[in-house]
Structure 1
Amino acid sequence: MGLIKMRPVPVFLIWILLLVTQETCGISKVRGADPQKLHLYENKEGFFHCLNSSQKVPYSSLNDDFCDCDDGTDEPGTAACDGSTFYCENIGYVPVNILSSQVNDGICDCCDGSDEWLGYVDCPNRCVQNGKERIEQMLAEVKIIKQGLKKREELKSLSSLRFSELVNKTKLLQVSIHEAEVLERKAKKELHWLEHVLRVIEARDIVANASVGNLSSHSSGDVVTTNEESSNDLGRTHSLQNEDDELNVNSEKTSDEVYKSTMRSDFVLETCQNISKVYTSSHMLLRLQKLFFDFLSKFPVLSNFFKGSQRKIDTEVLKLCISNLKEHLETLRSELEKNRTELERVQQYFSSDYGPENVFLALRDICLEVDSQGYHYKLCLLSHVTQDSINLGKFSQWDSNYTKMIFSDGTPCWNGPARSTVVNLLCGVNETILKVSEPSKCQYHFWMTTCAVCSVHEMKKLRDEANIILSNLNLTKGQKSNMAHKHDEL
């Protein structure tokens, strides 16, 4: 029995059969619709129900290049409705939604070319190649993130150490300032006391000289000093003696006591030596002088001969003590001011936000420099930015994710706003400026890498993207498995 020969079925009949089968089985695809929403595009008694309203239109109106639904959902595969989207399946890469206005515009927006279905341009399917290239790119990114995460741990340790150092430095400065303030008060009190002693001694000498002058005038027949003049000298002396009470320098010793004490030959030596023993250059001189006059005291004749000289030396030594004490007081004040300024500078560190786990503290004040488009830029992290000598802003705040440093209040532009800068931070092993731009007048953008923003979350995002690409590759189950195993580091 011979084989029965059948005539070939015309191609157009095959297409009709396929269309009928799809309609009957309810599996027809709607061009440009997201597969997860295909059930919303079912034919319901000859009508399509618009997705975001209560409207319904004839089912034949789907993708007829005319916008029937107010929400545009009846035209997912054409450019008829503003604001609607077209779904690119992109088998082998990542599915995406593009604006419907990009459909059949002569540009291949979907890597599978499905957006140019009218055929105005030839769009070869490049999704598999894109997927493979993206996988390789992600492998490189994952490697950088892993290195960055390791470096970030080191940065956290440095930040923690620096924070401890700042706390300790603050405590030491506060102690030093307190001790210096105590020494300053003591030195001021001693200075007032020495100056008062000097005035009392000088007043004593004035009275002594006046008495000698009066005796000399009587014996030589010169003009005799009147009682009024003597009273003025004594009144001035008494006034000087009472200054101690006014200064309230030493409540234990009144001016009268000081005056009586100064009559002792060794008073100035003891006073100056006790007060200025530690910090004046006159200490050795005082010791030598005391030894000299102790020696003279054994010979009354010589001692009387040098008595006038001793008073003069007392005054000069006291002046030297006062001068040295003033220098010491000035040194104390200078050191005190220096420590106060340093404390204020250190305390400024505690008023800034250094992000999660204070990781950016170790980067504060690190400055990066780069030449771009004929300008020299300098970026000091968490501080300021300059373009040559122009201020592009001072650090003012972070964005919510600590991935952008915002600098403001820079040098005002001519006929424009004050300059400002946004520094975009990307994960990287080292701190490096990648790019500088000025997208609008006097507003600058930097892109820089730093390990401070590397995160496990970023790693997870890459892995999720890789899983989408791998699951969307048009491969057999075995090929998918091999591909996944090959890139298991993702």
Structure 2
Amino acid sequence: MKNLTVLVTLLSSLLLFTPVTFAAQEEQKIVVPSQIRGLNPSLYDKYEPSKSGLFHCLDNSKTIPFSAINDDYCDCPDGSDEPGTAACSNGLFWCKNEGHIPGSVRKSRVNDGLCEPECCDGSDEWATGACPNNCEVVGKEWRAAKEASEKIRKTGAKVRGTYIKWAQGEKRRLEEDLAKKRQELVTKEQEVAKAKAILEKTEAHSQEDLERKKKSPVYISLLSHRLALARLRSKTNRLETEIESLHSLLREMAKGYNPNYQDMAVKAAVVGYEELTGIKYREGESEGETEVKKEEQEEGDKEEEITEQELEALEKEDLEALLLSDTTDENEEDDEDDGTGLLWKLDEYIPESLYGSWEHVRDVAIDWMICFGLAGRSKTKTSSGDGPQVAAAREKHRLLNNELVKLNGAIRDTEDTLKNMELHYGREGEWKKLDGSCVDKVVGDYTYELCFFGKATQRSNKDKSSNNLGSFNQWNTAADQGSLGYYSQQLYKNGAKCWNGPNRSVTVDLSCGTSNALISVSEPEKCEYRFKVTSPALCWPEAPGSPTDEVKVKEEL
């Protein structure tokens, strides 16, 4: 049987060029590339025989007789001389597959006795005849599946079109909003700059006014009284300490005094101390009564004396703030308008070029109003020690600056969103519509949920507990950015840590579908989940050179 197989192989090799006949001393007939077994039509121009009847290996490594093509002996290092045999392991054998689409297999699979699905016509087993031609049946099934898939793609593409239209509208809205915010930014920066200039000028004016008031007799007198108060507190504290020491000595003496000793000096001291304190320490009066009288005396002292806290508050009073606050009469109502507020508010509307002149006019007007009793001095006392005008100017600058910071943050957020719409949300922004939307599926005791660009979650259907499976991290970086393969997979990482395992993560395989749906959930590795999801966002329009015209190749590792 083995010899028979070898004989068949040799006879088949002789028939590789059936249109070509060889005779001694006779001219060789022309070979047409389409007659070369296993040759891909895209390479026909490389296999035109030269006038000299030679063939150049496609890698230009050597030249061989054209008759050596498909002679079941590997001459060319790149295997280009054996497109239809297994003599050269590298390269592909092309199958015509009439009734279906062309395909290719590794040349090492040629005549191995196994039927390859890529060659439904069985041409890869031309020597063994092991495989029948099933292309008519396979092609019919493939076209039916293709038709169903195409129907899904077209339906999904229409939905994808609405996503794109929405994204375009959203992009226009964001661009208009960004332009508006940038214009607001220019205005707000001018307002902040003006408020800062007003604050600086108001501070300078307030400082000049403060220095003038600090030279007044009242302020000098206040400083003298404060110094005297501090010295008096220090002396009083020292005397109180000494008096308390004397009280302690006299109390002990009064308690331990024995009249039988008839020491008149000690007796007189004890009697005098008891009269001073109103407390009888000698026999006949209980200790409880003594303590009550002592407490009553201390309460009486407290009612008459100013407290230590009050003294400390007086000593720490901010005299400069008092000067700046410019307090009015006590008889005036607290909420009375001082009549000058309008003049200060006008600062906001005065052009920068006229502000210097206006400042002088404003100050003169305020002084005259105060002088003639048309306005009182501001009663406001600020915790920072600023005068009312400085405090108002500082608050105005603070509020405007906060608005500026918020506006800058809003501009950055809008710019980031617009930038992401270029590729992050798909080639045409189709994924933006799905940002934050969720799909879920019940699998056994759990409900799995995926929120696009958010996070994946596993929820127990029993106790409603949940596990974070990960947050969106990236698209499929193994494919070219912007390609269909790039948008066909998402990775969600850094989920809750598994017990004695890694942090949970999810790989999401995306495909075209008429709706957004979570189709299946699996866990191929511990705490590493695999979701299969369909979405209209993946239903791209069919491009020229679509899969129907492509050659299928079986990769062999």
- TM-score tier, shorter chain, comes to 0.5 to 0.7
Give a deviation string over 1:1-33, Cα, whole Å, max 9, x none.
xxxxxxxxxxxxxx9xxx999777999976545
TM-score (norm 1): 0.52
Greater mean deviation of Cα atoms: 446-455 or 136-145: 446-455
Partner of 1:92: 99
Larger radius of gyration: 2
Q: Does 1:113 align with 2:198?
A: no
Aligned equivalent of 1:153, options 153, 156, 161: 161
Q: What amino acid does structure 2 have at the position aligned with 1:170? A: L
Partner of 1:274: 343
Q: Structure 2 vs 1, CA of residues 158 and 362 (structure 1 numbering), >3 Å: closer, same or farther?
A: farther
Q: Contact (CA 8 Å) 2:92, 2:106: kept in 1 or not?
A: yes
Q: Give the 3-state SS of the residue equivalent to 2:105 in structure 1.
A: strand
Partner of 1:331: 399
Q: What amino acid does structure 1 have at the position aligned with 2:543? A: E
Q: Structure 2 vs 1, CA of residues 389 and 92 (structure 1 numbering), >3 Å: closer, same or farther?
A: closer
Partner of 1:461: 546
- Deviation (angstroms), 1:119: 4.8
Aligned equivalent of 1:82, options 80, 89, 94: 89
Q: Contact (CA 8 Å) 1:162, 1:361: kept in 2 or not?
A: no
Give a deviation string over 1:454-477, Cα, whole Å, max 9, x none.
554437736657xx9xxxxxxxxx
State how 1:389-468 maps to structure 2 within 5 Å.
393=473, 399=480, 402-403=483-484, 404=486, 427-430=512-515, 451=536, 454-458=539-543, 461=546
Whole-angstrom CA distance in 1 between matches of 2:108 and 2:414: 58
Q: What amino acid does structure 2 have at the position aligned with 1:161? A: G
Whole-angstrom CA distance in 1 between matches of 2:544 and 2:531: 24
Q: Does 1:184 align with 2:184?
A: no
Q: Structure 2 vs 1, CA of residues 51 and 171 (structure 1 numbering), >3 Å: closer, same or farther?
A: closer
Q: Structure 2 vs 1, CA of residues 376 and 331 (structure 1 numbering), >3 Å: closer, same or farther?
A: farther
Give a deviation string over 1:107-127, Cα, whole Å, max 9, x none.
31122333335659x544432
Whole-angstrom CA distance in 2 between matches of 1:82 and 1:143: 41
Q: Give the 3-state SS of the residue equivalent to 2:111 in structure 1.
A: coil
Q: What amino acid does structure 1 have at the position aligned with 2:216? A: V
Aligned equivalent of 1:139, options 133, 147, 151: 147
Whole-angstrom CA distance in 1 between matches of 2:19 and 2:380: 121
Q: Contact (CA 8 Å) 2:101, 2:548: kept in 1 or not?
A: no
Whole-angstrom CA distance in 2 between matches of 1:158 and 1:456: 18
Q: Structure 2 vs 1, CA of residues 101 and 359 (structure 1 numbering), >3 Å: closer, same or farther?
A: same
Q: Contact (CA 8 Å) 1:385, 1:394: kept in 2 or not?
A: no
Whole-angstrom CA distance in 1 between matches of 2:18 and 2:203: 117
Aligned equivalent of 1:171, options 175, 179, 189: 179
Q: Does 1:130 align with 2:118?
A: no
Greater mean deviation of Cα atoms: 162-171 or 310-319: 310-319
Whole-angstrom CA distance in 2 between matches of 1:96 and 1:164: 46
Partner of 2:216: 207
Q: Contact (CA 8 Å) 1:428, 1:454: kept in 2 or not?
A: yes
Whole-angstrom CA distance in 2 between matches of 1:70 and 1:347: 56
- Deviation (angstroms), 1:366: 1.2
Runs of 5+ in structure 1 lacking a partner? 1-14, 214-236, 244-258, 260-264, 280-293, 298-302, 412-419, 469-490
Q: Does 1:359 align with 2:428?
A: yes
Whole-angstrom CA distance in 2 between matches of 1:432 and 1:86: 40
- Deviation (angstroms), 1:275: 2.3
Q: Structure 2 vs 1, CA of residues 338 and 188 (structure 1 numbering), >3 Å: closer, same or farther?
A: same
Whole-angstrom CA distance in 2 between matches of 1:400 and 1:186: 48
Partner of 2:413: 345
Q: Give the 3-state SS of the residue equivalent to 1:341 in structure 2.
A: helix
Whole-angstrom CA distance in 2 between matches of 1:112 and 1:368: 47
Percent sequence identity over aligned pairs: 25
- Deviation (angstroms), 1:94: 1.9
Q: Give the 3-state SS of the residue equivalent to 1:354 in structure 2.
A: helix
Q: Give the 3-state SS of the residue equivalent to 2:179 in structure 1.
A: helix
Q: What amino acid does structure 2 have at the position aligned with 1:458? A: A
- Deviation (angstroms), 1:342: 0.7
Whole-angstrom CA distance in 2 between matches of 1:185 and 1:38: 75
Partner of 2:108: 101
Q: Contact (CA 8 Å) 1:79, 1:101: kept in 2 or not?
A: yes
State how 1:234-249 maps to structure 2 within 5 Å.
none
Q: Contact (CA 8 Å) 1:31, 1:76: kept in 2 or not?
A: yes
Q: Contact (CA 8 Å) 1:85, 1:99: kept in 2 or not?
A: yes
Whole-angstrom CA distance in 1 between matches of 2:45 and 2:184: 76
State how 1:307-318 maps to structure 2 within 5 Å.
314=379
Q: What amino acid does structure 2 have at the position aligned with 1:128? A: E
- Deviation (angstroms), 1:130: 1.4
Partner of 1:479: none
Whole-angstrom CA distance in 2 between matches of 1:117 and 1:69: 22
Q: Structure 2 vs 1, CA of residues 124 and 375 (structure 1 numbering), >3 Å: closer, same or farther?
A: farther
Q: Contact (CA 8 Å) 2:455, 2:469: kept in 1 or not?
A: no
Q: Structure 2 vs 1, CA of residues 396 and 357 (structure 1 numbering), >3 Å: closer, same or farther?
A: closer
Q: CA RMSD in A?
A: 6.4
Partner of 1:472: none
- Deviation (angstroms), 1:344: 1.6
Q: Contact (CA 8 Å) 1:276, 1:325: kept in 2 or not?
A: no
Q: What amino acid does structure 2 have at the position aligned with 1:461? A: S
Q: What amino acid does structure 1 have at the position aligned with 2:186? A: H
Q: Structure 2 vs 1, CA of residues 390 and 331 (structure 1 numbering), >3 Å: closer, same or farther?
A: same
Q: Structure 2 vs 1, CA of residues 275 and 444 (structure 1 numbering), >3 Å: closer, same or farther?
A: farther
User: How many equivalent residue pairs?
Assistant: 374
Aligned equivalent of 1:55, options 64, 67, 72: 64
- Deviation (angstroms), 1:338: 0.9
- Deviation (angstroms), 1:83: 1.4
- Deviation (angstroms), 1:347: 2.1
Greater mean deviation of Cα atoms: 359-368 or 172-181: 359-368
Q: Contact (CA 8 Å) 2:94, 2:105: kept in 1 or not?
A: yes
